[in-house]
Structure 1
Amino acid sequence: MNKPIIRPIQKEDNAQVAAVVRKVLVDMGAPKVGTAYADEALDTMYEHYDRPKAAYFVVEDNGAIIGCAGIGQLDNYDGNVCELQKMYFLEEARGKGLGSAMMKKCLDTARDFGFEQCYLETMPYMEAAQKLYKRTGFDYIDGPMGNTGHFSCPVHMLIKL
């Protein structure tokens, strides 16, 4: 069995990435409205991230996408801040260090793009994810930054890059 790899998204990954994100959200009991589940870009992630200062990565294991995450300019915010976006891992990908490796890849890319801070939004019950974010250096902040449209994600965190 091959070791899972983290690589940039390719156009042919779009359907698998959308399926991963939707499956994780459904498995976690997240609302479909006000979360990534309803994002217009979800079915065309390759195209959505094919722009300056944006990148999206997948974790591939034996030809299957088992995790994903990306970074891009924080929507509707004036400032040099990016957002960690759509970071989701199927159950079989969890607990193997892939989340930490993906965080490093995304934050290193954000630094390479020249961003000064990275913001994220999550759900209160996504406790394992929050532990990873805290371990990486993210701190909780009192409210949202920008306007991502994810009004069902009330936990907000920020890291200085």
Structure 2
Amino acid sequence: MIVSIRNFFPEDKPLVDQVVRDAWIELATAMPGWNELAPRLGALTANAALSEVLVAELDGEIVGAAGYVGPNQPKPDFFAPEWPMVRLMSVVPKARGHGVGQALLDECIDRAKRDSTTLIALHTTPIMEAAQHLYQRAGFGVVRNLPDMFGVPYVLMTRLF
């Protein structure tokens, strides 16, 4: 199976939005605030003009996506404005274990290096166990705990270059 990463095209919107929903739906029972989060899952493509949306294909099928938000682009206040960040990384369950998440993360890291930054950041919840392992293996460490979001704890993580 071959994983490839490419830039998002507007015509990808319906498929990418579905991939994000499919990737996150398993959290519905674990997140008390799911009903608040669910409508926000379209934010990746809705904000495509403010970031770089990456699309992951496995053997030609869209199975993942992530946002790369560059330095000084709009982002939540708990990120320093100059930090690039990974946003809403999503991989459909059937594609997990094939390197899709790693490929998306590697591409975000490459873009941060392209932008001459010294680190990249993300926020995540510990209930996303597979993502936690991926981020830790890639050299990300917890900077601090963030206020709970959608009824679950979140952490801010960074990786230095």
Taking structure 1 as the reference length, the TM-score comes to 0.79
Q: For each residue in 1:86-126, what CA deviation from the matched residue of structure 2 results, as whole angstroms up to 9, or x when unmatched?
A: 10101121111222121111110112123332221122221
**Greater strand proportion:** 2
State the AA in 2 paired with 1:160.
L
SS of 2:85's equivalent?
A: strand
Q: Is the 8 A contact 1:15 1:43 kept in 2?
A: no
Aligned residues: 151
Answer yes or no: is the 8 Å Cα contact 1:34–1:151 preserved in 2: no
| Range 55-64 or range 121-130, more displaced | 55-64
Q: 1: CA distance between counterparts of 2:36 and 2:103?
A: 28
Is 1:154 the counterpart of 2:154? The answer is yes
Structure 1 partner of 2:6: 7
Q: Is the 8 A contact 1:14 1:43 kept in 2?
A: no
Q: Percent identity?
A: 27
- Is it true that 1:69 corresponds to 2:71 in the alignment? no
Please give the per-residue CA displacement for 1:33-73, whole angstroms capped at 9, x wherever unaligned. Answer: 564x3338x2671x62334xx31111123553111112104
Runs of 4+ in 1 over 6 A off after TM superposition: none
Instruction: Tell me what 2:98 maps to.
Output: 96
Aligned amino acid, residue 10 of structure 1: F
On the 8 A contact 1:80/1:117 being kept in 2, the answer is no
The TM-score with structure 2 as length reference comes to: 0.79
Matches within 5 A, 1:41-60: 42=42, 45=45, 48-51=47-50, 54-60=51-57
Partner SS state of residue 76, structure 2:
coil
Change (3 A) 1:80 1:104: same
C-alpha distance in 2, partners of 1:69/1:144? 21
